[in-house]
Amino acid sequence: MTEDLQKKRSRNLVALAYEEIKEMLNDGRIAQGELLSENQIADELGISRTPVREAFRALASENIVEIRKGIGIYVKTFTPKEILDTFEVRAALEILAVTSAIEEIGDDEIAVFYGRFSDMLTRYRENDEDITEEFNLMDRQLHDMFLEKSRNRCIRRMMKSINFNIRRCQMLSLKASPDMAVSIEQHLRILELLKERDLNNLVLELKNHMIWAANLLLQNYNGMDFSSSDSVIHSFVGHK
């Protein structure tokens, strides 16, 4: 193998390790505050420790993990401020996106989402079925559709830059939720307003959903409540 091919293969393995570790964080296989093992992750991915070590360095540069000399590598834990910052930006961008996309989303697309969320709600209520993974996927797909249908490319680029933190917050919110039915019902209401092309109430419902999700996470995370009138996200999105 030539030197150039060796370098290319090495870069590819680092990229593989980097993406896989982020996916493990997103889907909850790796938890906040967890001590990471180079050996364990290398074994899971079937690669050597070197690309995993390089991936850790890249993640550390993005403030996702923390390298503590003489101790190990830990997944950084969200602070309440970081959670609130993420929801603030997400709310602002998603409301702009849905404002632009409302006439671009077809009734057939809305019907598909509505049917799948309704089916999930029925199964959850009747059978107490674990729908966490399915709901997480559907939730991402719906909110991603708002971005994809938006005519504003700048919104899509900006949202992509914080997508990792958004996905982590979504997973944490789901784990903190005592009743998945509440979130499903909120999504069904959003879809109803989207079908009616009722932009004003749709924006309000999205704001309420973001505030509810942020508060749910923060209350379970640190015993905090941001639902009062002096909440940053409350005032930021103009909730009434």
Domain boundaries, the chain: 3-75, 80-236
Q: Would you state the structure tokens that stand for residue 219, as one six-digit string?
A: 């209350």
Q: Compute the half-sphere exposure of residue 197: CA atoms within 13 Å on the CB side of its CA.
A: 8
Q: How far apart are CA 115 and CA 134, in angstroms?
A: 14
Quickly count: other Cβ atoms within 10 Å of residue 235's Cβ: 11
Tell me the CATH number for domain 80-236.
1.20.120.530
Contact between residue 237 and residue 209 where contact means Cβ atoms under 8 Å apart: no
Q: Which CATH entry fits the domain spanning 3-75: 1.10.468.10, 3.20.20.140, 3.60.150.10, 1.10.10.10?
A: 1.10.10.10
**pTM score, whole prediction:** 0.77
* Distance between start and end Cα atoms, the chain: 65
- CATH topology agreement for domains 3-75 and 80-236: no
Digit-by-digit pLDDT tens for the chain (240 residues) are: 454 445 545 678 999 999 999 988 887 788 888 999 999 999 999 999 999 999 999 999 988 899 898 889 999 888 888 888 888 999 999 999 999 999 999 999 999 999 999 999 999 988 877 888 889 889 989 999 999 999 888 998 888 888 888 888 877 777 777 778 999 999 999 999 999 999 999 999 999 999 988 888 887 765 444 444 344 444 444 444
